[in-house]
């Protein structure tokens, strides 16, 4: 359940939902979902991170779409509020893509971003 009532912290496109579903289905161990967070790194300051979740943390915000769950780390919530997560495939790569209204810049290679907390 989100701390923001009915408004989810992040939205997932149908392609992102299907990719998360596939990761969960092909895991060697049973998963409750994936956790989305941020970590310091890269030339712009922060990188997005997904990790597999066997046991959810009750402090996480939970986004559930079509029985697929994404857990959002509490420390990342204000930075991710309003973000849309997509999954795209092109000739060179398949990757999650983040459209984050709180992002103020990104590095040239696209691996890291600079993000401000959402404003009330």
CATH number of the domain to which 19 belongs: 2.60.300.12
Is the sign of the CA dihedral 90, 91, 94, 97 positive or negative?
Answer: negative
> Which of the listed ranges 2-6, 21-25, 94-98, 112-116 does the model predict with the highest average pLDDT?
21-25
The answer, yes or no, to whether residue 110 has pLDDT greater than 70, is no
Number of domains in the chain: 1
* Residues 13-71 pLDDT 10s: 999 999 999 999 999 999 999 999 998 876 667 888 999 999 999 999 999 999 999 99
Does residue 5 belong to any structural domain of this protein? no
Does residue 3 belong to any structural domain of this protein? no
Mean pLDDT, the chain, whole residue set: 86
Q: What is the DSSP string of the chain?
A: --TTTTS-SEEE-HHHHHHHHHHHHT-SS--SEEEEEEEEETTTEEEEEEEEESS--TTSEEEEETTEEEEE-GGGHHHHTTEEEEEEE-SS-EEEEEE-TTEEEE-TTSS-EEE-PPP-
pLDDT at 105: 72
């Amino acid at each position: 359940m989100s701390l923001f009532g009915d408004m989810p912290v992040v939205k997932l496109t149908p392609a992102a939902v299907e990719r998360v579903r596939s990761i969960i289905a092909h895991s060697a161990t049973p998963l409750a979902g994936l956790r989305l967070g941020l970590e310091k790194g890269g030339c712009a300051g922060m990188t997005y991170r997904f990790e597999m979740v066997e046991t959810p943390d009750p402090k996480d915000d939970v986004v559930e779409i079509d029985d697929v769950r994404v857990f959002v780390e509490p420390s990342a919530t204000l930075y991710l509020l309003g973000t849309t997560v997509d999954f795209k495939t092109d000739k060179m790569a398949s990757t999650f893509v983040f459209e984050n209204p709180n992002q103020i810049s990104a590095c040239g290679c696209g691996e890291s971003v600079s993000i401000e907390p959402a404003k009330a």
